Copies of this chain bind each other. A is one copy, B any other.
Amino acid sequence: MSVTETSTERRNGVDVETLFATIGVVRDQPALARFQFRSSHEWVSGTHNRGTISGFYGAGQEHLHAAPTTIGADHPAVLVGADHGPTPAELLLNALGACLMSGLANIAAARGIDLKGVTATVEGDIDLRGILGIDPEVRNGYEGIRVVFHVDGAAEAEKLAALVSQSRDRSAVFDVVTNGTPVSVDVATA
């Protein structure tokens, strides 16, 4: 194979060579691993609001995504909203599912496993007496969240299952959702 062919070799859509090269560069220059992600929000009306994701810092410089993404959020009618979008609690489940899914193809590619298809469902149980302020003994957030994966690929079932557990063990969102992270909430005076 020519150099060009080698450098574009992909498995599961993953450029494995570049992935390993990137990890090697960051290992040698840990400052490149410092990232800052951001989201900006504007209130629309009632529980309806919009969040936009566009720029971030990482690998020593500012970046812009290829396109900004704006996500609307609202409460459904049963929760006295206008249902212009998912609830923020659903957006949290979406972030978790996306994170577990994103790592999986990289891990499979690194292990030489071809994936055919992967789906997952995320479910969270919540007692809204917390956020409605009805019972101080009830927490605001989810009591528990369940994620179930279906993985179809060219390996035995236990090797496919190991992809999911490795993705979980390297997931930023899974870590935050299970272990918590300090969050400051302030109001600008201007």
Contact = CB atoms under 8 A, between A and B. Distances in A.
A112 interface: no
Interface string A12-27: 1111001100110011
Contacts of A131: 103, 170-172
Copies of the chain in the assembly: 2
Nearest to A170: B131
A61 B125 CA distance: 14
Interface size class of chain A, counting residues whose CB lies under 8 Å from the partner chain: 35 or more
22 contacts: A14-B47, A23-B132, A33-B134, A35-B127, A36-B123, A37-B124, A38-B90, A38-B121, A41-B94, A41-B119, A41-B121, A49-B102, A58-B128, A69-B86, A92-B176, A95-B95, A131-B171, A140-B175, A144-B183, A157-B189, A164-B187, A177-B181
